[in-house]
Structure 1
Amino acid sequence: MDALPSTALLGFAGVALVVVLSPGPDTFLTLRYALNRPRNGVAAALGMMISIMGWAALAGLGVAALLQTYPAIHQVIAVVGGAYLLYLGLGSLIKARFLAGASAATARTATRTAAAAGSAYTLFQSLRAGMLSAALNPKLGLLFLALMPPFIPVGSNMLGSALLLGAIFALMGFAYLMVLTAIAAKAMAWFKSPTVGIWLERVSSAALAIMGIVVLVGAFL
């Protein structure tokens, strides 16, 4: 079996970089947990990387051909993923609206309470949320199942090559999410102020909800 040429590795790395730097559910989900506690953001990012390696393994096993034969499978993934993002976004929007409706003093107390309640999120819950977000992201499925195979030359070990490319994507994605987590940790005190905290919750939640709607609509087009 032939090893992957450097041109294939660099070509895929370029595509991966564009995808990694594009704002998506992984960005807002990591920030949401990182603002709670930095280590929760790390756990969420690790969960996403686990699912990314799962997508890479499926690509190496030839699941792309299965999805071409049965496109309904991809549609189901898109519907479930869109519904999950919509659930996360709407749930947080309701919380943000409740905080905004309180008086200034009450909002301050509620925000602090919400931040303290963040400790209720265990590392496993953060890890699981990250895994679900990436596993149900149809764009990641499209990236690995449709765009990855062309970067693997004929004669190469399909599964091994796919896992190598998946590892490249995962490392780049994890590094980017760790930068976001570090920024969130440094700005934690500012983000926890009542007004900023409420608006941050609104923006991140609205982004997740909008992405969920876009994914759901796209699933039926």
Structure 2
Amino acid sequence: MHQTLLPFLGACLLIAASPGPSTVLIIRRSLVGRRDGMATVLGNETGVFVWGVVAAFGLTALLTASRLAYDAMRVVGAVVLVVFGVQALRAARRLRGSAAAGVGETGDAGGAEETGDARSAPSARSSAWASYRAGLALNLANPKAAVFALSFLPQFVPAGAPKLPTMVALAALWAVFEVGYYACYVWGVHRMRRLLDRASVRRRLEQISGGVLIALGLRMALEG
């Protein structure tokens, strides 16, 4: 097993470094605050672990065997991406309206009007929970994540090792590794907070992330 871990972690690094919808959402929610960014990461990695466990039981094979099931999930995933993209564009519009009205630099990616540590504890918990749900929903609504887990994890099961517990353990390691990797994104956004909190910069980032998420959603909906 120890001979498998290094190649497996290397593959996990390449996967995490590949930009995708999860990366966009994590960065976007990190603009709200570190708590929201990490909650999004944890939600996304919960989805990674869930798909790994489902793949270990062979259930994701149903998606590859049933075109109808795959297409239905693909449409749901596309809708989720478009909804998140529209939310980002609406947040950008609110920021523009606030700037025009001379109201500070507030507004966030999920609809709250408070940022960082200035929020009350109940508001911060509610926002973090919303971020967790967003990360989880984005991952679970992506059929490609399910099919990828099915094809990825079995390659690293050592010969003679029990398949089910080994794949579950690898799925857990995959999720934990990505938590650490994406935490660097959250930390980086926080370190750049003084620049990113400027209304003009924040608005542009919301516009870019919204456009990217909508484009990815449309691509997912239209792909064969």
Q: TM-score, normalised by structure 2?
A: 0.84
Deviation at 1:153, TM superposition (A): 4.2
From 155, 158, 177, the equivalent of 2:163 is 158
From 78, 81, 84, the equivalent of 1:85 is 81
Residue deviations 1:18-51 (CA, integer Å, cap 9, x gap)? 1100111111111122111211111111111111
Q: What residue number does 2:217 align with?
A: 212
- Given the alignment of the two structures, is residue 186 of structure 1 paired with residue 191 of structure 2, yes or no? yes
Q: Which amino acid aligns with 2:188?
A: I
Q: Which amino acid aligns with 1:180?
A: Y
Deviation at 1:179, TM superposition (A): 0.5
Deviates more, 1:172-181 or 1:154-163: 154-163
CA RMSD of aligned residues (A): 2.2
Q: What residue number does 1:147 align with?
A: 152
Where 1:111 maps in the other structure, the secondary structure is: coil
Q: TM-score, normalised by structure 1?
A: 0.86
- Given the alignment of the two structures, is residue 56 of structure 1 paired with residue 26 of structure 2, yes or no? no
Where 2:178 maps in the other structure, the secondary structure is: helix
Unaligned runs of 5+ in 1: none
Deviation at 1:70, TM superposition (A): 1.8
Q: What residue number does 1:19 align with?
A: 15
**Pair 1:124–1:98, CA change in 2 (3 A):** closer
Q: What residue number does 1:117 align with?
A: 114
Once residues 98 and 126 of structure 1 are traced to their aligned partners in structure 2, the CA distance between those partners, rounded to angstroms, is 19
Once residues 53 and 198 of structure 2 are traced to their aligned partners in structure 1, the CA distance between those partners, rounded to angstroms, is 43
Between the aligned residues of both structures, percent identity stands at: 28
Q: What residue number does 2:35 align with?
A: 39
1:96–1:202 Cα contact (<8 Å) kept: yes
Once residues 154 and 73 of structure 1 are traced to their aligned partners in structure 2, the CA distance between those partners, rounded to angstroms, is 32
Deviation at 1:104, TM superposition (A): 4.7
Once residues 98 and 157 of structure 2 are traced to their aligned partners in structure 1, the CA distance between those partners, rounded to angstroms, is 59
Greater helix share, 1 or 2? Answer: 1
Unaligned runs of 5+ in 2: none
